[in-house]
């Protein structure tokens, strides 16, 4: 993932989640710290990059960041991060958006 592994802490992990999507886990990191780390990762992307036949192509990165509240399932956590990712994509791209806190069945934030 563009050399990110060389800057990761020993317990951090990155994995491809879909075609162009990745999941990054940052244990023992709060939302504010995760936002800082993700912004650093975005800043480190090679811009511009070399495309096919030596052409220049722009690489951008939209990110959604969520902090686990200790009670939600992995599916709920990923859904919140995914919602933030799509908000980042739909409001201009090439930015990081923090997820809202989890919402319980009552409809109120946890």
CA dist 55 and 97 (Å) reads 30
DSSP-derived 3-state class of residue 97: strand
Residue in 32, 34, 4, 28 with CA at minimum distance from that of residue 16: 4
Active site residue 21: no
Which positions are catalytic? 20
């Amino acid at each position: 993932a563009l050399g990110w592994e060389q800057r990761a802490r020993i317990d951090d992990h990155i994995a491809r989640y879909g075609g162009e999507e990745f999941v990054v886990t940052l244990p023992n990191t709060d939302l504010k710290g995760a936002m800082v780390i993700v912004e650093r990762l975005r800043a480190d992307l090679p811009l511009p990059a070399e495309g096919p036949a030596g052409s220049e192509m722009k690489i951008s990165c939209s990110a959604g960041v969520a902090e686990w509240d200790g009670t939600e399932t992995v599916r709920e956590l990923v859904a919140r991060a995914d919602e933030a990712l799509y908000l980042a994509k739909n409001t201009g791209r090439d930015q990081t958006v923090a997820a809202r806190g989890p919402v319980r069945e009552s409809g109120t934030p946890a």
